[in-house]
Amino acid sequence: GAVVSQHPSWVICKSGTSVKIECRSLDFQATTMFWYRQFPKQSLMLMATSNEGSKATYEQGVEKDKFLINHASLTLSTLTVTSAHPEDSSFYICSARDGRTDTQYFGPGTRLTVL
């Protein structure tokens, strides 16, 4: 099946700093990528839809100035958590939509811990 990678797999940062997470589709082009957030023992909550070459669409309640999304190419989307605080600590998962099969393939996730 299709492969999606995320980097880094885990990151620890100090409060107030910014963290960038990369999501890449390795063997297909993804015009649409999605960013999810998952708290411990909970389901995935969609944060935003990232479209190549255009602005991301954020879900209600998600601060777009805090969670900056850039979809610079058909294989890369980035999520930047700006001025991170401990409450931003979470598991962030991206997915990429394969238009050929209309299926989302998920990355392995990035564990963010803000001290």
Partner 1 sequence: AQSVTQLDSQVPVFEEAPVELRCNYSSSVSVYLFWYVQYPNQGLQLLLKYLSGSTLVKGINGFEAEFNKSQTSFHLRKPSVHISDTAEYFCAVTHTGTASKLTFGTGTRLQVTL
Residue numbers at the binding site for partner 1 (CB under 8 A): 1, 4, 6, 32, 34, 42-44, 46, 49, 51, 91, 93, 95, 97, 102-109, 111
To partner 1, the closest distance from the beta carbon of 104 in angstroms equals 5
Q: What angle do CA 63, 66, 72 make, to 5 degrees?
A: 100
Neighbours of 51 (CB within 10 A): 16
Rounded Cα distance, 5 and 39, in Å: 20
Instruction: For the CB of residue 105, give the shortest distance to partner 1 in the complex, in Å.
Output: 7
CA–CA separation, 95 and 100 (whole Å): 15
Find the shortest distance in angstroms from Cβ 43 to partner 1.
5
What is the nearest approach in angstroms of partner 1 to the Cβ of residue 68? 20
Distance, CA of 84 to CA of 89 (rounded, Å): 8
